[in-house]
Chain A
Amino acid sequence: MAGSGVRLLALAAELTWAGLTSPMLRAQAIPEPVPVAESPSQPPWNVVTLIGANFLTPSNVTIDGAMRKALMAPGRHPVNLFSEALDAQRFPLSSIEQEFAALLAKKYATTHVDAVVTLGSAALDFAEKHRDELWPDARILFQVVPLESLANRSLSPTTTGIPVQWDIAGTVELALSLRPDTRRLVVIHGSGDFDRSSVHVTRRQLEAFQKRLHIEYWTDASMDQFSRRIEQLSPDDAVLYLSIARDAAGRTFLPREALAQLASVSRAPIYAPFDSYIGHGIVAGSLYSYEALGTRMADLVQEALAAPTTPIPWATITKASCVADARQLEHFGMSQARLPSYCDVRFAPPSLWRDYRWYVVGAVLAILAQSALIFGLVFQRRARRTAEEEARNRRSELMQASRLALAGELTASIAHEINQPLGAILANAGAAEALLRRGKASSDELSSIIADIKKADLRASEVIRRVRALVTSRQSDLKAEAMDSIVGDVLAFLRGEAERRGITIEAALDAGLPQMEVDRVQVQQAIANLCVNAMDAMAQTPQGSRRLGIRLAACGDGGIEIVVTDTGPGVPQDQLPRLFESFFTTKVEGMGLGLSISRSIVEAHDGTLSARNLDAGGAEFRILFPASRRVTKPLKAADESLAASPSRPPSVKTQGTVRL
């Protein structure tokens, strides 16, 4: 160990010194294999497992496997394991015992066997009997031998083992706690030597139940007979299955295969005290874990071989314990709750809750949280929609109110516009009256009077129409509109007001523009707001130079611009950014809504509204409707973004009157 360490160090130094440039050198430097054994080599123990039954008997496989695993575990004394099987369950040993022993003697002639582990009573007996000739000095360690039978045996002083005490009484107790009203217990076992080996113990343990149960023993029947009879049982009966390794007809079985066959037809629950049966048809049993037996045996082997000649008392393992098959419980409609709480219930159908409780809890919580989130979001979305609709309604109402306010502001000029034709009508009528009264009426004159009356009437109703169009509550209505007509209407509407205020309107309207998809009244409102604003701005401007400019023209790539200019003092530079805010006003009586509403109207049409001061003095407001508003596609009935409240007081509309 120390030598190899030094050699490795030397090698490392050599590599460092030589550098790593030469692959040849490195290839040559690979050291010869270094022994890795850490402790001085111990001669392995040779251990023979002698199986009474055959190799494949499930109990043997389990016990042997567990033992091997434990013996081979790292850190243990090295062991060579051998296995032999007597197969005594199926072939009576007496007929071949001598030959078999001779075979083994020859086989192990050159192998010193340190220990023989026997599985089953037959194997123990065989080993005791032939130890001296086969495996002198070997310690015999027995396994799976009923405690009761050991009293009748005279064993070598060095022999020890793990006796078992099949818990038949405990198994029947389990049957009774699962079905307290069970009246009949049928004990089934086969006809082989092995099958009979546990009958005696069984009878003894069942004596305690004689008063509570009617106990029958079924044996010496063929498998078919067993099957037929077990089919006849009532579900209130119980079956205690010991083993069928061989039936009366001479057929041999693995006992648990026979069990499975019976269980498939039995109407009564089957119980058994053996670990290897669990999962193969029994409902429950009070049994020893074969795996625990195997592991315990490995310890015993270690102990026994560490002191080969010291007698060791029999080992014990913990008490037999309840094991049940959930599928069988369910099949017979039995409640797990009736089993002892420590009972190991196996083969429960996979249950998410049982196997992945925390994952399930986590998943459920996650889903709940997610649901809550979704619910919250949906709720929030609804609340937002309601709020948006509310806001839309409010805005629509505000627009309406603002239009009414605008109309109110223009009342004087509106009245003038209407009174003018009305006055003409009255005067014409008066003239006609006078002519008729004086008998001077010529039909030519009368017809020209009537024509003038009609003209004036139409003019008055046109004014009314314009006012009504502006102030009537209405749904938003997108249509293809000629912008010059829209602007022209606004100017006709405002002309009187401009006149009243001594303002000259300078309009330049391009009539050849493409139609745009807009809400006529809303756009008119936006423009009228800008114009009235401009007129208000010129209150302090000297009479002769009050000019309201309005220009409608194509702009950019297919858009349309409407520019309103005034010759007022302009907008103070620091107020320009806040100009379009609601309730921002520079006027004494202003509400500060006009420009804000104008902008929201324009923006609802995908347009922009901007303001700037002109170099020559005065302010310029510019509405730009984008090319996307040009009418090229079929019109939608109404634009969602402009939709007014669906339920409006219909008074104005239905009465057909203008209320100013």
Chain B
Amino acid sequence: MVISREEAAQALNDINSANKRTTSMQYYRHLAPHLILWGLIWLVANTVTELWPANSASVWNGLSWAGALTSMWIGYRSKHRNSHPLAATCAEDHGPRGFRILLTMFAILGFFVATFSILPNLDIKQANAYISLFWGTYYVVTGIWTGVRMAIVGLLVAASILFAYFGIPQHYFLWMGLVTGSLLVLGGIWLRRV
């Protein structure tokens, strides 16, 4: 069997492209349930904030902690199902992924506590937009490293937040719940379908 230079180059291109597709697919499979989960949380918590603002703080607190614990469980389960390229490398070297997700969340929580102590007093809408934009940016950055679909979801989420904040401030929370939350859920479903 003789392989020409052109055939070898073509074969290496095919290998490279199959490798990229598999890696992206594995990342998407890992990220999709988190997007769906947090999309549902945004949907419920923002809608409650719009319709029953008195219950806003308790709903956000309860759902955020429930979401963090569920994300941990998803990470733990995903490690044991071997569905994510980072699962093997990270878990072998540094312990369970669920625990790493918890640490990540504490780091992000610390970031928000620190920045809120620096920023002047924000009203509830500004604080919500700030935190939500952080996550939109996080999804874009994750997408830059893992695959274009994730970046698109992040961009759409960020655009939706900015539109709600500047375009329809009187119904900001309703838009954030029904539209931006649904965008996250649909984004998660879209990633799963790759």
Q: Do A and B bind each other?
A: no
Which chain A residues have a beta carbon within 8 Å of chain B's beta carbons?
Answer: none
